[in-house]
């Protein structure tokens, strides 16, 4: 949860300081790509946080979707680092983005499995109550 909050703040700070990135890999991106990067971080992390705290079966779906939304900008950042600096830059600066993307995909599969189990339990409970009530 703390990492999601940090990514949410990074997206907000990036949007508020767009155009003042200086001599960085992100500074070499065109302004529309830069805005999409930070907006993707902000929206995706926000949705993932809402999904974590949302009760019921809707929470895991929102969390997984949010993780997917902010995985795309992270992969884009890893690709931008690789293009700008090669393997050396990817291993140093881009490694966090790539590892975080892999962790997000892993968590999305976990959430999918949990959602299917919870949905199967809810259907079984509903069917049992319906049969007992007849």
The string of pLDDT tens digits covering residues 55-70 is 877 888 899 999 999 8
- Whole-number CA gyration radius for the chain: 19
Rounded CA separation 115/46 (Å)? 20
Model pLDDT, residue 15: 72
Using one digit for the tens of pLDDT, what is the confidence trace for 86-105? 888 778 777 888 888 899 99
Rounded CA separation 87/91 (Å)? 6
CB-based burial of residue 89 (10 Å sphere; 0-12 exposed, 13-18 middle, 19+ buried)?
middle
* CA 28 to mean position of chain CA atoms: 23
Indicate whether 19 pLDDT > 60: no
pTM over 0.75: no
Domains identified in the chain, total number: 1
Q: Can you give the residue range of the structural domain that contains 93?
A: 2-133
């Amino acid at each position: 949860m703390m990492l999601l909050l940090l990514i949410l703040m990074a997206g907000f700070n990036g949007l508020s300081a767009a155009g003042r990135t200086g001599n960085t890999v992100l500074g070499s991106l065109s302004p529309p790509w830069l805005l999409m990067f930070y907006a993707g971080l902000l929206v995706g992390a926000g949705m993932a946080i809402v999904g974590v705290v949302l009760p019921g079966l809707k929470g895991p779906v929102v969390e997984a979707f949010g993780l997917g939304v902010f995985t795309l900008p992270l992969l884009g950042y890893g690709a931008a680092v690789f293009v700008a600096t090669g393997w050396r830059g990817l291993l140093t600066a881009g490694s966090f983005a790539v590892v975080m993307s892999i962790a997000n995909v892993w968590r999305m599969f976990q959430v999918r499995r949990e959602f299917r189990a919870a949905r199967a339990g809810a259907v079984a409970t509903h069917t049992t109550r319906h049969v007992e009530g007849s």
